[in-house]
């Protein structure tokens, strides 16, 4: 079990622990320890047993603790491990993510500093304590626990969709200058001074979508395609839209082709030769350069065997290696918003100026799923007592102002107000205005935190 203690602000996911040693100078060499001088401001004191040296370098023996100093003060303290110098030499040739997952594969204890930290479990069943400051705590494989110093009643816990579309929990300490506000992702348990709680998604989330836990679902496939072809997680709207398209028969190949052909995709791959395209696929999906044999094979398939880029790309996207690299995101939970529920919720905000109630949201989303149109829903809303009470006696110009404010969070611009007022005065249904505003890109953006990311219900 490794204990990792941060004494200076930490950004754990970027730590290259064994990269420090690649060009270090070694001093204070004994059988039980040595010092690695990294640069003028950074050095590491290591302790161990049976250490031997050749030409000034440690070549055998085992290290069991390390303290890294920056600018004269301890930054990180690691203990409880047993790494041979032979294994350390291997680690120095590997990428940091692989190394950290190996070093911290067991049941580890990770403690943050008094500052704002990003802590990473890396692997195993770990215990992570953010401490003071506003910390981000990242779980990984296994069952991870975040520790807080006060009683459960001192904290509020909320869930929402955060970075990369993953479920996040925000834990806010009401006591000043103690644990601050922490963001937890991929963490299963929160432990307090008087007990522990399982971290579960807010129940209202199920009214707005579902959590994808792998590529076996439509949303999981969309997530993998975005990550593999664009090198990023999908935006919430794109994920909802394409998951809905997949569920209604659109093949993954079509989305892959659209992503490659998009301006963003073309900026990444449009000007690349076949070999460069293959190498980028290796980097984006597998996190490593192409090996010689693989590069030659896939380049030949594209240049001489009639293979299409999208088909080669899809093979990489849905390879076991790429899917495995996404598992930490799926373990945290990738929230896939339901497109129909989102459309209905935006209409509630636009026409009734409130969040939807759970029953109404479910009913109207089912209507859309079974062939109903958003226009029919808007017309039905017009006749409800709630809508009539709020807007029934309102003049058309005032109604335009009200809907702009409801849907877009701003007053109507002069041209837009004049245009829609004239149309309404000429007999155009108020439902048409409501549909256009509620489905606009601006409305999607304004209500994103309340619908796809926040799951607000009346």
User: What's the mean pLDDT in 75-91?
Assistant: 96
Indicate the pLDDT class of residue 111, thresholds 50, 70 and 90. Answer: very high
User: What's the mean pLDDT in 140-161?
Assistant: 95
The predicted pLDDT at position 141 comes to 84
Give percent of the chain with pLDDT exceeding 70.
100
Taking alpha carbons only, the member of 252, 274, 261, 254 closest to residue 230 is 261
| Neighbour-count burial for 117-147, b at 16+ CB within 10 Å, e otherwise | bbbbbbbbbbbbbbbbbebbbbbbbbebbbb
Residue 1 in this model has a pLDDT that exceeds 90: no
The predicted pLDDT at position 420 comes to 96
The predicted pLDDT at position 98 comes to 87
Residue 163 in this model has a pLDDT that exceeds 80: no
Mean per-residue pLDDT over the chain, rounded: 96
Taking alpha carbons only, the member of 316, 348, 357, 360 closest to residue 447 is 348
Q: Does the model's pTM come out above 0.95?
A: no
- Residues 305-332 have pLDDT tens digits of 999 999 999 999 999 999 999 998 998 8
Q: Which helix (H) or strand (E) element contains residue 388?
A: helix 385-391
> 339-446, superfamily in CATH?
Phycobilisome linker domain (1.10.3130.20)
- Residues 194-228 have pLDDT tens digits of 999 999 998 999 999 999 999 999 999 999 999 99
220-to-168, 212, 315, 316 alpha-carbon distances in Å: 17, 6, 16, 15
- Secondary structure class of 80 (helix, strand, coil): strand
Torsion sign over Cα 272, 278, 284, 290:
negative
394-to-390, 404, 414, 419 alpha-carbon distances in Å: 8, 14, 19, 17
- Residues 413-444 have pLDDT tens digits of 999 999 999 999 999 999 999 999 999 999 99
- Residues 363-408 have pLDDT tens digits of 999 999 999 999 999 999 999 999 999 999 999 999 999 999 999 9
The predicted pLDDT at position 104 comes to 92
User: What's the mean pLDDT in 42-51?
Assistant: 98
* CA pair distance 389, 354, nearest whole angstrom: 14
- Residues 234-282 have pLDDT tens digits of 999 999 999 999 999 999 999 999 999 999 999 999 999 999 999 999 9
The predicted pLDDT at position 97 comes to 85
**Residue 233 has which token pair?**
């997680």
Residue 83 in this model has a pLDDT that exceeds 90: yes
Whether the CB-CB separation of 384 and 364 falls below 8 Å is answered with no
Q: For residue 412, how many other CB atoms are within 10 A of its CB?
A: 20
Residue 335 in this model has a pLDDT that exceeds 80: yes
Do the domains 209-336 and 339-446 sit in the same CATH topology, yes or no?
yes
CATH architecture of 209-336: Orthogonal Bundle (1.10)
The predicted pLDDT at position 123 comes to 85
Query: Domain extents for the chain?
Result: 209-336, 339-446
């Amino acid at each position: 079990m490794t204990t990792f203690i941060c004494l200076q602000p930490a950004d754990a996911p970027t730590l290259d622990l064994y990269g420090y040693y690649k060009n270090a100078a070694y001093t204070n060499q004994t059988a039980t320890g040595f010092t690695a001088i990294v640069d003028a401001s950074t050095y590491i004191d290591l302790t161990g047993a049976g250490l031997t040296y050749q030409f000034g370098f440690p070549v055998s023996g085992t290290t069991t603790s390390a303290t890294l100093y920056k600018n004269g003060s301890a930054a990180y303290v690691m203990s409880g491990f047993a790494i041979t110098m032979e294994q350390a030499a291997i680690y120095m040739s590997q990428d940091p993510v692989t190394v950290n997952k190996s070093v911290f594969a067991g049941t580890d204890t990770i403690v943050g500093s008094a500052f704002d930290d990003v802590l990473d479990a890396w692997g195993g069943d770990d215990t992570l304590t953010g401490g003071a400051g506003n910390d981000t705590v990242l779980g990984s494989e296994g069952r991870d626990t975040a520790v807080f110093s006060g009683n459960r009643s001192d904290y509020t816990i909320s869930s929402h969709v955060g970075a990369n579309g993953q479920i996040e929990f925000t834990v806010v300490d009401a006591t000043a200058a103690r644990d601050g506000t922490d963001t937890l992702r991929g963490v299963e348990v929160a432990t307090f001074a008087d007990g522990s709680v399982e971290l579960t998604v807010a129940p209202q989330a199920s009214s707005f979508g579902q959590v994808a836990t792998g590529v076996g679902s439509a949303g999981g496939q969309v997530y993998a395609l975005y990550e593999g072809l664009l090198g990023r997680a999908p935006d919430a709207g794109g994920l909802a839209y394409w998951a809905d398209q997949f569920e209604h028969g659109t093949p993954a190949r079509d989305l892959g082709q659209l992503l490659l052909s998009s301006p963003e995709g073309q900026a990444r791959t449009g000007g690349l030769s076949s070999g460069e395209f293959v190498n980028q696929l290796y980097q984006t999906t597998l996190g490593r350069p192409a090996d010689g044999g693989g590069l030659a094979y896939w380049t030949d398939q594209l240049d001489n065997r009639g293979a299409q880029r999208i088909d080669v790309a899809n093979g990489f996207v849905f390879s076991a290696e790429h899917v495995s690299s996404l598992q930490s995101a799926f373990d945290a939970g990738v929230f896939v918003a339901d497109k129909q529920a989102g459309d209905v919720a935006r209409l509630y905000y636009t026409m009734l100026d409130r969040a939807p109630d759970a029953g109404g949201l479910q009913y109207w989303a089912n209507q859309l799923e079974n062939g109903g149109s958003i226009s029919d829903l808007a017309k039905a809303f017009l006749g409800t007592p709630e809508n009539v009470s709020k807007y029934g006696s309102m003049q058309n110009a005032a109604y335009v102002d009200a809907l702009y404010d409801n849907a877009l969070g701003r007053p109507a611009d002069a041209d837009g107000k004049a245009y829609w007022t004239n149309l309404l005065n000429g007999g155009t249904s108020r439902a048409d205005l409501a549909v256009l505003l509620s489905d606009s890109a601006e409305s999607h953006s304004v209500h994103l935190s309340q619908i796809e990311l926040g799951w607000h219900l009346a």
